[in-house]
Amino acid sequence: PAQNAYITVSGQLKDAKTGEKISYATITVPNTSIGTVSNSDGEFTLKVNSSLNAEYFEVSHLSYATTKFKISEAVGKEKTFYLELEPIKLNEISVVPGDARGIVEMALRNIRKNYSQTPNMMTGFYRESIRQRRTYLSISEAVVDIYKAPYLSLQDDQVKIYKGRKGTNVKKADTLMVQLQGGPNVSMLLDIVKNTDLSIALDNLDNYQFEFGSMVNIDDKLNYVINFSPNIIREDPLYFGKLYISQDSKSITRAEFSLDLSDENKASLVFVKKKPMGLLFLPTSTSYMVTYKEQNGKYYLNYVRVDLKFRCDWKRRLFKNNYTVISEIAITDRREDNIVKFANQEIFKTNMVFAQKVQDLTDVDFWGENNIIEPESSIESAIKKLSKSMKK
């Protein structure tokens, strides 16, 4: 493709008052489905097809005023873009209700109205990394196609790897080979609105206690923040977290949650189906985030991030290691016309290991024109170190 087929905007997002970086903000081109997400350092790169003649890109984030920036003034040298905190302005008729659970019930009843009831074809950028202490063992990433089934339907979402690449530092890996099963399929299952039963078990609200937290602005709209915590003891552990629910449409716009780790053995079974004899596997920290983006009156999945930390101890051996597994997917494009499911042999299945399945790619033009999540600085250096492996 011609090098001028797209326009690239790169930069870093910061708080206008404190100068702090703004992580995981949504960057979009208004009136299109093109977008990306800033990384943990607030950095982003947005690529826009020149034929769109787009004038602005838009940045939105929790509690900040949604801000437009001129593309023509942002092209070229990397810039810093500042966002202003948006004060909470309650309307005179705005009353915070006393029943937090009632708001969650209303949000679940409104799924049919607030989320797409037709299939969508989405393009996403998926990356997962595995780290042993501070050393990266594996980094894999891909542009994926996603058949996003209608909400409230019994159809499952489908994922197909379009183009991928990987690097693996085998020399640094110890005798335990850490592998993350499910890859981007796990991200799709964490769509808590579609999978109320499979994700955090919102299919039965008796599982949780709900309490009101604060109110925040998301995309210039007031959102209730509703805290939830386990209300019962089950065979499998529940979660602690927050639901962000739009005041006007009663849509779930964001969720942040972590697994209840109070029973370590029970929590470990969530992640480990099969392990070597004598291995003690203990999750030490879990963090999940799911965000949705409104377009033309409907909310669509926007970004999913999983951050898992766990410890592996070999009994009767002086052998102990800490691992961090991070996966994230950003939806970078979407369409609703001529949607066809994937052939069975194309589908990435839940029992597959993404790092094994993804294929090396050296097509510079391909990666050059696709929106991806900018690597964090530490991952950037790791990618350079692993580049020899990626070329083999």
pLDDT of res. 273: 52
What is the pLDDT averaged over residues 313-336? 80
Q: Residue 277 pLDDT > 80, yes or no?
A: no
pLDDT of res. 392: 42
- Type of residue found at 356: Q
Output the six-digit token pair for 230.
């386990």
* DSSP state letter for 16: T
Please count the other Cβ atoms lying within 10 Å of the Cβ belonging to residue 17.
10
Residue with the two structure tokens 């089934």? 149
Q: Judge whether 224 and 218 are in contact, CB under 8 Å.
A: no
Closest CA relative to residue 22, chosen from 43, 1, 45, 53: 43
What is the pLDDT averaged over residues 6-26? 93
Render pLDDT for 17-62 as a digit per residue (tens, 0 to 9).
Answer: 999 999 999 999 998 989 999 999 999 999 998 888 899 999 999 9
Q: Give every CB contact of residue 160 below 8 A, 6+ residues apart in sequence.
A: 144, 145, 146, 147, 342, 346, 347, 348
What is the pLDDT averaged over residues 286-307? 95
Render pLDDT for 62-74 as a digit per residue (tens, 0 to 9).
Answer: 999 999 999 988 8
Across 71-75, 208-212, 218-222, which has the greatest mean pLDDT? Answer: 208-212
